[in-house]
Amino acid sequence: MKVEIFRRTVKDRKTGMSFQLLQHMAEGIKACGDIPVMVNEKLTGEWKTDEMEPTEKIGCMFGYGGKNQPHHTKGRRRDLVERAKKKGIYIITFDGGILSSFGNTITHPQHHWRVSLYSPMNNGNFLSDASPPDRWNMMNKLWNIKYEPWRKSNQNDPILFVLQPKDNWSMDELDPIDWFKKVYKTIRPLTKRKFLIRPHPNHMAQMIKRKNEFPNDCELIEGKAHWVGDEKKYYRFNFQDAITNVHAVVTHNSTASVDSCVRGIPTFVTSDLAICWPVANKDLEKIESPIFPDRTQWVHDIGYKMWSTEEIRSGIVFKRFKNKLAL
């Protein structure tokens, strides 16, 4: 069976982890006795009409593209998924793993990637429903995950708002401050708690410049700045420290919401793309009385949402999808 790999769903530089991951997937496809076909491998430049036309039963891509994003790479991803679904073609997609604050960072030698059909968010199909606990238990040991009971807060504990970048495909061009103001308008009349705002680390500098756009009764967590020459290039936070004593986390659909739910922090989300959606709070008006759903099956399923580079390269991942889809 031929399997198309859409190389142009990563940037044209032909380097980096996302590009390498597609190469590893090609190795895995070969290990299963199938034929990887790199689509438009040498094509560069502007988005070409019909360059994302799938023709085989199944293909592979990296990432996801929101409905409103004009960026060439994200637009190509969106176009590919739309064309594939119309034809009944499966598209396996990859993205960076979740649980990063516990140690599953992109640079970790045992980094586990999200692998699903069509989207690496909650609207994708990870083929992970009703999974056994073995892989979750393995990840627990690998990263020493703090899987804790739901936390019952004290009356003075703050609420942490986790922002995301506008150009992040899961935000789909929604401005983070516009999102916050809308959420603030709903929540502020319902509680007297302190509001802490944690911007995305890579967009902290932008949020500092726009600091005066936030309400006066909110505190912006600036994190630790990292300098390159005379310029602040990026910031880093210890997310585990940030959520230790909060009443709740509120975010749009950040993958950090998975980490807070695992830690037992009631987490409110405003988008059903959030991977924590099955165990999240969705009603902002219940900010002072969150629900505490059973997370047992949800964490077991997380174990089958992510796979290591070696599992991808060896063919374990492709064989699993191939068998589950009866191809």
267-279 confidence digits (pLDDT tens) = 999 999 999 999 9
Can you spell out the DSSP letters for 18-81? Answer: HHHHHHHHHHHHHHTT-EEEEETTT--SSPPTTTT---SSEEEEES---TT---HHHHHHHHHH
Mean of pLDDT over the chain: 90
In a domain, 173, yes or no: yes
Q: Do 167 and 287 fall within a single domain?
A: yes
Q: Do 173 and 256 fall within a single domain?
A: yes
Average pLDDT of span 85-96: 97
Residue 300: what pLDDT? Answer: 98
Rounded to whole angstroms, the Cα distance separating 214 from 4 reads 46
Q: Do 202 and 231 fall within a single domain?
A: yes
In a domain, 111, yes or no: yes
The angle subtended at Cα 251 by Cα 245 and Cα 253, nearest 5°, is 130
pLDDT tens, 177-207? Answer: 999 999 999 999 999 999 999 988 777 778 8
Q: Do 196 and 89 fall within a single domain?
A: no
Residue 169: what pLDDT? Answer: 64
In a domain, 149, yes or no: no
3-state SS assignment for residue 82: helix
In a domain, 137, yes or no: no
In the chain, the number of structural domains is 2
Residues 6 or more apart whose Cβ sits within 8 Å of residue 67: 78, 172
pLDDT tens, 19-28? Answer: 999 999 999 9
What per-residue string of b and e applies to 52-80 under the rule 16 or more CB within 10 Å gives b?
bebebbbbbbbbbbbeebeebbbebbbbb
Of 44 and 265, more confident: 265
Rounded to whole angstroms, the Cα distance separating 183 from 150 reads 23
In a domain, 147, yes or no: no
Residue 194: what pLDDT? Answer: 96
Q: Do 166 and 227 fall within a single domain?
A: yes
Can you spell out the DSSP letters for 242-301? Answer: HHTT-SEEEESS-THHHHHHHTT--EEES-TT-TTGGGSB--GGGTTS------HHHHHH
Average pLDDT of span 162-189: 87
Q: Are strands 224-228 and 218-220 parallel, antiparallel or unpaired?
A: unpaired
Task: Compute how many other C-beta atoms are within 10 angstroms of the C-beta atom of residue 246.
Answer: 21
pLDDT tens, 110-125? Answer: 999 999 999 999 999 9
Q: Which of 122-131, 165-174, 276-285 has the lowest mean pLDDT?
A: 165-174
Per the structure block, which two tokens stand in for 320? 């699993």
Task: Supply the range of the domain harboring residue 20.
Answer: 2-130+305-324
Residue 16: what pLDDT? Answer: 85
Q: Do 255 and 188 fall within a single domain?
A: yes
Residue 47: what pLDDT? Answer: 73
pLDDT tens, 199-242? Answer: 887 777 788 889 899 999 999 887 665 545 555 444 556 888 88
Residue that is written with structure tokens 């393995």 in the block: 138
